[in-house]
Structure 1
Amino acid sequence: MTDSTYPIGTPGTKWNDDDKAQWLASQVIKRSYQDEVLTLINELKGTLTVEQYGELNYNDGCYPLYALQTPNFDDTKPTVLITGGVHGYETSGVHGALRFAKTSALNHSKHFNIIITPCISPWGYETINRWNPSAIDPNRSFYENSPAHESAAVMAYVKSLNLDLLAHIDLHETTDSDNSEFRPALAAREGTTNTNWNIPDGFYLVADSKKPEPEFQKVIIEGVAKVTHIAPSDENNALIGVPQEQFGVINYAARQLGLCMGFTDAPFVTTTEVYPDSPSANSEQCILAQVAVIDSALNYLRNEG
């Protein structure tokens, strides 16, 4: 289905600053980063190292950015990065990262150093938005001199640690609002005609086409299948218009597209896509699916190592 209409901008013309200001003025705070995210981070201070790595100052408020680390980093252990909330509206990415931090991180820390940035885009979390206030998608902005403060802050933090990463797992969702709001808004911003995609009913993974590691992806899919259903491909053997590489897995050119999973040199990377709008899933299942991804990935890496 295609729909080229959007209430902001002129069809066929890229947004100017006035259009972006109009879009920003239409955004409203719908939930609390302080109450729903920072409270949970504070509860982890007794077991994990909590470090503020940055701060975002927007008209709606000041948003401190936090990373969690397993205690007693050991240079002899490999290091794994978990990122959530790059798209703030993708709720289970944020809360899956926090649930893993609460329930599993210490157990895995026997074998790995683990870094978790649970909510990279807190303004997006509060406004249930894919973009930041400048109408920039942080998950297309992971490159040098990034225009997205959210992306720049976490990249600078990870670089400052001066660590070689073994793996990077980025937690996301695909939602019905992709078609109802975010893809039409993107087309309007770019002055193009929107083409909606067929949203898969279920969980899938996006691997990096430059380092797909198919067995790594396969093991993750098998782990998640114990928690929630895996998305079947469409009649073209594709998911969101991209050819399926194996059951539940597609590949993207991560670094070329400026995706979060592409900004490090970690050899094992993946992006999760949970579908919270499925009639066959609920919010708790979605959170547990994100945890299952991390657990399955780390178990695989430990056994392979």
Structure 2
Amino acid sequence: MPTPFADPIGTPGQPWGPAEIARWRARQVRQRSHADDVLAPLARLPAPFDAFRYGELVVGDDRYPLMAVRVGTWQPGLPGVLVTGGVHGYETSGVRGALHVLDQHAEAWAGRVNLLVVPCVSPWGYERIQRWNADAVDPNRAFREPSPAPEAAALMRLVAPWRGQFSAHIDLHETTDTDESEFRPALAARDGQPFVPGSIPDGFYLVDDAANPQPAFQQAIIEAVAQVTHIAPADARGEIIGSPAVAPGVIRYPFTALGLCAGLTGARYTTTTEVYPDSPRTTPEQCVAAQAAAVQAVLGFVVADRLRQPGEAAGAAQAPT
């Protein structure tokens, strides 16, 4: 277990104001390159991939192109699938998993699904290995109108014309030891609340939508990922991170009510992945492979679902512009 620390910014019991947020932002140091790690691989993608800019994130003197990738020719009548990574910039396997899918698997699905991949939603956070954006806002609580996070707002604008026309959306995340040692203490300090220690699940798990549960869909992903890495068990209370486990490795959150990324499309099938890269039972490579296996399971599920229910699951997803 990580050892929590008291966040040194602010006054205990008082929420942060602009001065505290500015102090926090000044402490964030660039540790890796979005241009090298994300933009360069996207620039190398061959046809039939179409990498395009859907917006720009500006933070001070830093400007980040926000990139998405279409795979193949988008065809009316095929199920649309959205894959997002890096909503929380520090969750590395989500970004690497999305890029791995593009590099190794996506082309095989051209002509069977309309696939849209957004590998890194939060590039400022990615470079600083940070959960929040530059305004100390959690992007994965900001998918609502009006959004307090420009990263979330840009993705919402991209998806808005086709909201409800996607069959599935998988949002790739991690739960790390720093959730407990750094980010949750910082959250408590930011909001002027006491920090209550919790625990980190050891293994992969999924978050289903409490307002639209799809147990067969979640189970298909769990079965695929179990071939790659271990599934997080429930604790003694039958919970994972404080939520009841409704099936092995599956909990539920209300996506739209919480402003979660996985709720932005209105898709029938939605999920948020969580891997645990700090587990002694896995490696960073296995975590990336687990994310890729989850995406592959989603794609296989929606294709099979379309064959079972051609009049219902095909949708009318069109090509973003």
Q: Which category describes the TM-score, using the shorter chain as reference length?
A: over 0.9
Q: In the alignment, what sits opposite 1:296?
A: 297
Q: Residue 256 of structure 1 aligns to a residue in which SS?
A: helix
Shift of residue 59, structure 1, vs aligned partner? 2.2
Q: CA separation in 2, counterparts of 1:172 and 1:84? A: 7
Distance 1:256 1:33, change over 3 A: same
Q: TM-score when scaled to structure 2?
A: 0.92
Greater shift, 142-151 or 295-304, is seen at: 295-304
Q: In the alignment, what sits opposite 2:167?
A: 166
Q: CA separation in 2, counterparts of 1:171 and 1:3? A: 25
8 Å Cα contact 1:3/1:193 also seen in 2: no
Distance 1:283 1:3, change over 3 A: closer
CA RMSD of aligned residues (A): 1.4
Q: CA separation in 1, counterparts of 2:35 and 2:157? A: 23
Distance 1:78 1:183, change over 3 A: same
Shift of residue 47, structure 1, vs aligned partner? 3.4
8 Å Cα contact 2:55/2:66 also seen in 1: yes
Q: Residue 302 of structure 2 aligns to a residue in which SS?
A: helix
Shift of residue 218, structure 1, vs aligned partner? 0.5
Name the aligned partner's letter for residue 107 of structure 2: L
Q: In the alignment, what sits opposite 2:92?
A: 91
Q: In the alignment, what sits opposite 1:243?
A: 244
8 Å Cα contact 2:68/2:119 also seen in 1: yes
Greater shift, 231-240 or 54-63, is seen at: 54-63
Q: CA-to-partner distance for each residue in 1:91-147, whole Å, 9 max, x for gaps?
A: 000010111111111112231000001000000000000000000000000001101
Q: In the alignment, what sits opposite 1:53?
A: 54
Shift of residue 160, structure 1, vs aligned partner? 3.7
Shift of residue 73, structure 1, vs aligned partner? 0.4
Q: In the alignment, what sits opposite 2:318?
A: none
Q: In the alignment, what sits opposite 2:154?
A: 153
8 Å Cα contact 1:140/1:259 also seen in 2: yes
Shift of residue 162, structure 1, vs aligned partner? 6.3
Q: CA separation in 2, counterparts of 1:45 and 1:17? A: 45
Q: CA separation in 2, counterparts of 1:149 and 1:211? A: 27
Distance 1:196 1:45, change over 3 A: farther
Name the aligned partner's letter for residue 261 of structure 2: C
Shift of residue 31, structure 1, vs aligned partner? 0.6
Distance 1:60 1:236, change over 3 A: farther
Q: CA separation in 1, counterparts of 2:130 and 2:68? A: 21
Shift of residue 298, structure 1, vs aligned partner? 1.5
Q: In the alignment, what sits opposite 2:6?
A: 5
8 Å Cα contact 1:141/1:151 also seen in 2: yes
Q: In the alignment, what sits opposite 2:36?
A: 35
Distance 1:273 1:162, change over 3 A: closer
Name the aligned partner's letter for residue 239 of structure 1: I
Greater shift, 295-304 or 77-86, is seen at: 295-304
Greater shift, 158-167 or 186-195, is seen at: 158-167
Q: In the alignment, what sits opposite 1:182?
A: 183
Q: CA-to-partner distance for each residue in 1:222-264, whole Å, 9 max, x for gaps?
A: 0000000001111111000111000000000110000000122
Q: Residue 269 of structure 1 aligns to a residue in which SS?
A: strand
Q: In the alignment, what sits opposite 1:261?
A: 262
Q: Residue 151 of structure 1 aligns to a residue in which SS?
A: helix
Q: Residue 174 of structure 2 aligns to a residue in which SS?
A: coil
Q: TM-score when scaled to structure 1?
A: 0.97
Name the aligned partner's letter for residue 120 of structure 1: V
Q: CA separation in 2, counterparts of 1:292 and 1:142? A: 26
Q: CA separation in 2, counterparts of 1:293 and 1:129? A: 24
Shift of residue 74, structure 1, vs aligned partner? 0.2
Q: CA separation in 2, counterparts of 1:154 and 1:34? A: 19
Alignment of 1:103 onto 2:104: yes
Distance 1:45 1:63, change over 3 A: farther
Q: Residue 181 of structure 2 aligns to a residue in which SS?
A: helix
Gaps of 5+ in 1: none
Alignment of 1:26 onto 2:35: no
Shift of residue 163, structure 1, vs aligned partner? 6.7
Q: CA separation in 2, counterparts of 1:5 and 1:111? A: 50
Q: In the alignment, what sits opposite 1:221?
A: 222
Q: Percent identity?
A: 50
Q: In the alignment, what sits opposite 1:17?
A: 18
8 Å Cα contact 2:73/2:111 also seen in 1: no
Name the aligned partner's letter for residue 305 of structure 2: E
Q: What number of residue pairs does the alignment pair up?
A: 305
Name the aligned partner's letter for residue 243 of structure 2: V
Distance 1:234 1:156, change over 3 A: same
Name the aligned partner's letter for residue 257 of structure 1: L
Q: CA separation in 1, counterparts of 2:197 and 2:142? A: 22
Shift of residue 161, structure 1, vs aligned partner? 4.8
Q: Residue 297 of structure 1 aligns to a residue in which SS?
A: helix
Q: Residue 159 of structure 1 aligns to a residue in which SS?
A: helix
Q: In the alignment, what sits opposite 1:283?
A: 284
Name the aligned partner's letter for residue 131 of structure 2: R
